[in-house]
């Protein structure tokens, strides 16, 4: 058995638009160990969500996975998900059963016209060879209880609009967990929730990880959450992973100027010096037909003429710590 | 749920009452009435007409009374099943409408079913394959369908189906079945006559439904719950029909209320061209000859169908959309 359950190598997901090619994901590389959590962090529009959808092959049109490898090890064999067609049997078999996903907006991610129970039942039954309603219902109720849904019997027959945001996110997690997946992709699962509910949800995910031996890909732009949740971190900028390594390496020895900027822009609890928070100058450019240069060079404090000359490669500076910068 | 339906039902009754006033006012609006023209023709035939004769006629029809009394007289009679006499046909209005109403309703329902049966799949296809050739073809046909005057299309279809398919066109039946008793042969004859009116009348609403469905489904397809359902491992086709299409059908269902009257009454011109005896063409003739009781009854009937149609679509909407049930 492979040490890694999922390895993404040089993933490319591009959107061919009338105005040009949007390179939403352009060379993303990271690896996920069994029973561990990888945090993918970056600003809005850096390609985090597209990366997640590329793994599940649910990228919306006109986006296409055009290159790279997504190696998934189900314990018996290694499959490259890039080779499967998005609506193929193989992909559908994986979705929701081996690899599940929870989404940013829990309210909008539940279909408005079906009850929570109906949607969960469907998620279970679609992966059953022999359709067994009783067993499916039992599994759903058990999971609703496990996620701490108040009054699960009644919530089973409730519609999303009858529940609060936190309850909807619990329902989403129950929906994603009901088939006991090996990988859970959490795409900013707490962004739309208030802070107390956020903590409950992250605790829930950590508990499930232990109970069900699950690996998690946790996508967020919140450095604080990631420090708490993740074992390893991949920092993304403009469709590329610019730095990756263990939580310790990233937080204690950040090498890429972007990672440093991100860490400096984090508020520190109890900091009374009255200093302003550091902000990274400028905005993330839109990767529409991007030039062949380091993606961060337009905002980098340490830029040199060399930075515009090409795209730096991801170099291993110490074991497990990779950086994409000309100057390290 | 029950409260909602009762509330809707009360609205429906109130609306019907208000509409009856409007109907009455509308048929009274044109200057003169049937009696004026009747007396004029009497004068032409017999020279002088005695004042007392005129007065008697006015009294007989209740036209010497104030307007509001005439309205209540009309309403009272209607509740007793007496819709008055048609001046022009010299028959009770009730008989005239009773002979036409069933076929009008049958034709409308078939047209409605046809329009939805064709438009819904096309709308779904158009949304799922936005900007594909098929989508453009459907859009062009849809706009052409909206823009073509129905009488013109009726003429073309009549010409071609008579010329190349050898069908007898116009009316509901071929002459030999016109007054024949019901039999399979007569039913079959009816079936052969229905396609042209159904297509002609249904085309505009079809185009409408395609546009509405395409637009709403395009919106729904982008919603996160669609991606979430896909990420659960459902088959693409099944997922599309179970999730976004299901939601996108709501505006279509609520449009039944507005499409039904346009099918029932908007078919008037088509009905005249195709010579099919519907309530629409009856109303048209009644208005031309100021046959006020007939016109009034027709207007009331058409409004009733519209309002009942809206009522039905409201209830259907509650059944399919749980979000409405809550309020």
Shortest CA gap B128–chain A (Å): 11
A127 touches A190 (CB < 8 A): no
* Chain B interface disruption, residue of A112, A115, A131, most B CBs within 10 A: A112
Query: Per-residue pLDDT averaged across A104-132, rounded?
Result: 91
| DSSP H or E segment with residue A227 | helix A223-229
Superfamily (CATH H level) for A1-98+181-292: P-loop containing nucleotide triphosphate hydrolases (3.40.50.300)
Burial B283-314 (b: 16+ CB within 10 A, else e): bbbbbeebbbbbbbbbbbbbbebbbebbbebb
Q: Are A23 and A50 in contact (CB under 8 A)?
A: no
Q: What integer pLDDT is reported at residue A79 of this predicted model? A: 92
Distance from CA of B60 to the nearest CA of A (A): 60
Spell out which residues of chain A touch residue B246, defining contact as CB-CB under 8 Å.
Answer: 111, 113
Residues counted in chain B: 327
The answer to whether the CB atoms of B235 and A92 lie below 8 A apart is yes
Q: Specify whether domain B102-325 bears CATH 3.20.20.70.
A: no
**Which residue is listed with tokens 């039913």?**
B187
Predicted local distance difference test score (pLDDT) of residue B4: 82
Nearest to B224 among A56, A100, A108 (CB): A108
DSSP label at residue A284: P
| Mode of pairing for the β-strands spanning A183-187 and A37-41 | unpaired
Task: Average the pLDDT over A304-323 and give the result.
Answer: 90
Integer angstrom CA distances of residue A35 from A226, A227, B15: 16, 17, 65
Per-residue H/E/C for chain B? CHHHHHHHHHHHHHHHHHHHHHHHHHHHCCCCCHHHHHHHHHHHHHCCCCHHHHHHHHHHCCCCCCHHHHHHHHHHHHHCCCCCEECCCCEEHHHHHHHHHHHHHHHHHHHHHHHHHHHHHHHHHHHHCCCCHHHHHHHHHHHHHHHCCHHHHHHHHHHHHHHHCCCCCCCCCCHHHCCCCCCHHHHHHHHHHCHHHHHHHHHHHHHHHHHHHHHHHHHHHCCHHHHHHHCCCCCHHHHHHHCHHHHHHHHHHHHHHHHHHHHHCCCHHHHHHHCCCCHHHHHHHHHHCCCHHHHHHHHHHHHHHHHHHHHHHHHHHHHHCHHHHCC
Domains of chain B, by residue range, sit at: 2-73, 102-325
In chain B, what residues touch A53 (CB-CB under 8 Å)? 227
A290–chain B nearest CA distance, Å: 26
Q: What is the mean pLDDT of residues B15-26?
A: 87
Query: What's this model's pTM, rounded to 2 decimal places?
Result: 0.81
Task: Determine if residue A213 is left, alpha or beta; phi over 0 gives left, psi from -120 to 50 gives alpha, anything else beta.
Answer: left
Residue A218: both structure tokens together: 């946790």
Q: Which tens digits make up the pLDDT trace of A205-227?
A: 999 999 999 999 999 988 888 99
CB contact under 8 A, A104 and B233: no
Least confident of A246-255, B44-53, B178-187, B248-257: B44-53
Q: Which residue of B has its CA nearest to A95?
A: B233
Kindly list the domain boundaries of chain A, sorted by start residue: 1-98+181-292, 112-180
Among candidates A109, A111, A126 on the partner chain, residue whose Cβ is nearest the Cβ of B233: A126
User: Measured between CA atoms, how close is B5 to chain A, in angstroms?
Assistant: 20
pLDDT the model gives residue A141 = 95
User: Which of A105, A115, A159 is nearest residue B224 as measured by Cβ atoms?
Assistant: A105
The pLDDT score that the predictor gives to residue A100 is 95
Residue B326: the pLDDT is 58
Pick left, alpha or beta for residue A320 (phi over 0 → left; psi -120 to 50 → alpha; otherwise beta). Answer: left
């Amino acid at each position: 058995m492979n040490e890694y359950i999922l390895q993404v190598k040089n993933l490319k997901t591009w959107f061919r638009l009338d105005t040009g090619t949007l390179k939403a994901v352009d060379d993303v590389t990271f690896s996920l160990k069994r029973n561990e959590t990888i945090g993918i962090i970056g600003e809005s529009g850096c390609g985090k969500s597209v990366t997640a959808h590329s793994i599940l092959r649910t990228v919306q049109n006109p986006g296409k996975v055009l290159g790279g490898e997504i190696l998934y090890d189900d314990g018996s064999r290694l499959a490259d998900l890039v080779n499967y067609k998005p609506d193929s049997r193989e992909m559908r078999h994986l979705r929701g059963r081996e690899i599940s996903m929870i989404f940013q907006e829990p309210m909008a991610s539940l279909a408005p016209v079906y009850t929570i129970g109906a949607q969960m039942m469907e998620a279970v039954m679609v992966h059953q060879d022999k359709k067994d309603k009783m067993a499916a219902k039992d599994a759903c109720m058990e999971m609703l209880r496990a996620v701490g849904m108040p009054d699960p019997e009644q919530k089973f027959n409730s519609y999303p609009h009858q529940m609060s945001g936190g309850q909807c996110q619990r329902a989403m997690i129950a929906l994603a967990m009901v088939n006991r997946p090996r990988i859970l992709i959490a795409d900013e699962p707490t962004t739309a929730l208030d802070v107390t509910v956020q903590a409950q949800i992250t605790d829930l995910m950590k508990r499930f990880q232990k109970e069900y031996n699950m690996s998690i890909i946790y996508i967020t732009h919140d450095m604080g959450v990631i420090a708490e949740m993740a074992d390893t971190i991949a920092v993304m900028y403009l469709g590329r992973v610019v730095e990756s390594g263990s939580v310790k390496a990233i937080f204690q020895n950040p090498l890429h100027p972007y990672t440093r900027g991100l860490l400096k822009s984090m508020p520190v609890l109890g900091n009374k010096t009255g200093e302003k928070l550091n902000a990274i100058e400028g905005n993330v450019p839109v990767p529409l037909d991007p030039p062949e240069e380091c993606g961060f060079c337009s905002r980098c404090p340490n830029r040199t003429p060399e930075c515009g000359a090409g795209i730096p490669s991801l170099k291993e500076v110490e074991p497990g710590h990779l950086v994409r910068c000309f100057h390290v | 749920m029950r409260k909602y339906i009762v509330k809707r039902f009360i609205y429906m009754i109130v609306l019907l009452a208000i509409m009856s006033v409007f109907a009455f006012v509308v048929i009274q609006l044109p200057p003169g009435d049937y009696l004026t023209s009747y007396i004029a023709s009497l004068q032409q035939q017999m020279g002088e007409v005695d004042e007392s004769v005129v007065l008697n006629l006015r009294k007989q029809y209740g036209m010497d009374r104030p307007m509001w009394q005439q309205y209540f007289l009309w309403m009272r009679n209607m509740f007793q099943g007496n819709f008055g006499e048609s001046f022009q046909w010299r028959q009770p209005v009730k008989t005239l409408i009773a002979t036409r109403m069933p076929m009008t309703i049958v034709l409308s329902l078939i047209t409605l079913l046809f329009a939805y049966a064709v438009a819904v799949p096309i709308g779904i296809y158009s949304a799922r394959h936005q900007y594909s050739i098929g989508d453009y073809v459907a859009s062009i046909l849809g706009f052409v369908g909206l823009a073509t005057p129905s009488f013109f299309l009726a003429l073309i279809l009549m010409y071609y189906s008579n010329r190349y398919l050898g069908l007898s066109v116009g009316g509901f039946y071929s002459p030999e079945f016109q007054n024949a008793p019901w039999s399979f042969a007569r039913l079959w004859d009816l079936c052969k006559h229905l396609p042209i009116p159904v297509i002609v009348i249904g085309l505009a609403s079809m185009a409408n439904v395609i546009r509405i469905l395409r637009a709403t489904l395009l919106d729904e397809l982008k919603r996160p719950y669609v991606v979430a359902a896909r990420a659960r491992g459902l088959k693409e086709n099944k997922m599309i029909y179970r999730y976004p299409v299901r939601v996108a059908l709501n505006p279509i269902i609520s449009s039944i209320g507005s499409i039904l009257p346009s099918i029932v009454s908007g078919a008037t011109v088509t009905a005249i061209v195709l010579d099919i005896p519907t309530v629409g063409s009856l109303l048209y003739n009644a208005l031309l000859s100021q046959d006020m009781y007939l016109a009034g009854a027709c207007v009331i009937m058409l409004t009733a169908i519209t309002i009942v149609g809206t009522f039905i679509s409201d209830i259907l909407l509650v059944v399919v959309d749980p979000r409405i049930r809550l309020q």
